[in-house]
Structure 1
């Protein structure tokens, strides 16, 4: 119970942070299932909530079948991320060295796909890392992408 309290507190506090919301761009079927939904790869996009002019695209596996149809399936930890400059980059606020910018459920309750933005001040670049977590153990599967910022320095906290 001693270990569970900090985990529950962290989970409840992280739900208060302003995170980006994804928009589904498209999906393709990867496994045919005769009487239930197919397994799919889904592509979603979101704009960085603190950096105007940067959009990220996340692809992830989505389990089909009957459990997937009712939202009880555990999606695999296979995904990628690509972030790009889509306009003039501007900053809503000074950025911390590392900040979670996206979180989406990948199972009924305890697994999430997350995207964290890191600031590489030496190279004046924004680095985005995607990974998954679970309440007890996460996955080492991850993907990374970077967006260089030219013409201005990244404001940091």
Structure 2
């Protein structure tokens, strides 16, 4: 019981990752509180210059969404693109997390991890949602071919 409480307290201090909100659309009208929405966010890969990812995800509205206790669905989509010359700023591990954001008060997050397909010279980004107890099979990928002569 103490272990579960310790884990609960530790996860309550996790802050959402910084992402730039690009826009949103309402999907369900709520009489009280904000509407349910699909939010589009952008983030740059922290270890690979020249790659930007756009993430769309569902957010719950209503009173519980307004006060931050609603649990968002596991639905998400990702599109990553080369936006400039690609430069590896530092080495990275396969499956390394490049983005994480809470989708419920304590237990659920949406994450993006990165892989490198060396044979094909392609970066692969996988978005998925997880819970402290069990994950979700809902996922999406985006690939970024590393173009050697960007802009020429």
| Bin for the TM-score computed over the shorter chain | 0.7 to 0.9
CA contact (8 A) 1:51 1:90 kept: yes
For residue 115 of structure 1, what is the aligned residue in structure 2?
112
> Which whole-Å CA distance do the structure 2 matches of 1:75 and 1:112 have between them?
9
The answer for unaligned runs of 5 or more in structure 2 is none
Runs of 4+ off more than 4 Å = none
For residue 52 of structure 1, what is the aligned residue in structure 2?
49
CA contact (8 A) 2:96 2:113 kept: yes
CA contact (8 A) 1:20 1:101 kept: no
After superposition, what is the alpha-carbon deviation per residue over 1:121-150, rounded to whole angstroms, capped at 9, x for unaligned? 111110000000000011100000000113
> Which residue, 80, 87, 94 being the options, matches 2:84?
87
1:26-41 equivalent positions in 2, closer than 5 A: 26-41=23-38
> Which whole-Å CA distance do the structure 2 matches of 1:35 and 1:63 have between them?
12
For residue 124 of structure 2, what is the aligned residue in structure 1?
127
> Which residue, 59, 62, 66 being the options, matches 2:59?
62
Report the TM-score when normalising by structure 1.
Answer: 0.84
Aligned residue-pair number: 144
> Which whole-Å CA distance do the structure 2 matches of 1:51 and 1:106 have between them?
26
